Amino acid sequence: MTDNLVFKTLSEVLMWITGTGGGAWLVVMWFVSWALEGTAFWQRLSSQVKTVIMLVSAGLLGAGGQVLLNNPEIVAMIDPYVRPFIYAVMIWLASQVAHGKNPLRYR
């Protein structure tokens, strides 16, 4: 069942977050659009402050991911507990793509 998932382990997620593909930036941007964009607090901030918050958050996420990657014993210890969350997120993302492409949705 999990053979087609993009990420199967915490190490794979961390490599994506810390890699050159901009994983940390994508995670931060998704969180902002999903959780913060509709809040009055976020709307009151200037675009410069929002940019700084997002850049610092992405940098911290990437740095934290790199710290974990440099400690494989910690990753191995927490991977079994994180893996169900990884699967749930991947399945949720796939369902969102399917929902967006469903032709019956636009009737």
Quickly list DSSP for 3-20.
TT-S--SHHHHHHHHHST
Flag whether pLDDT at 72 surpasses 90: yes
CA distances from 105 to 94, 98, 102 (A): 16, 10, 6
Q: Answer yes or no: are the C-beta atoms of 75 and 14 closer than 8 Å.
A: yes
pTM of the full structure? 0.75
**pLDDT, mean of residues 41-53:** 95
Which of 1-10, 31-40, 68-77 shows the highest mean pLDDT?
68-77
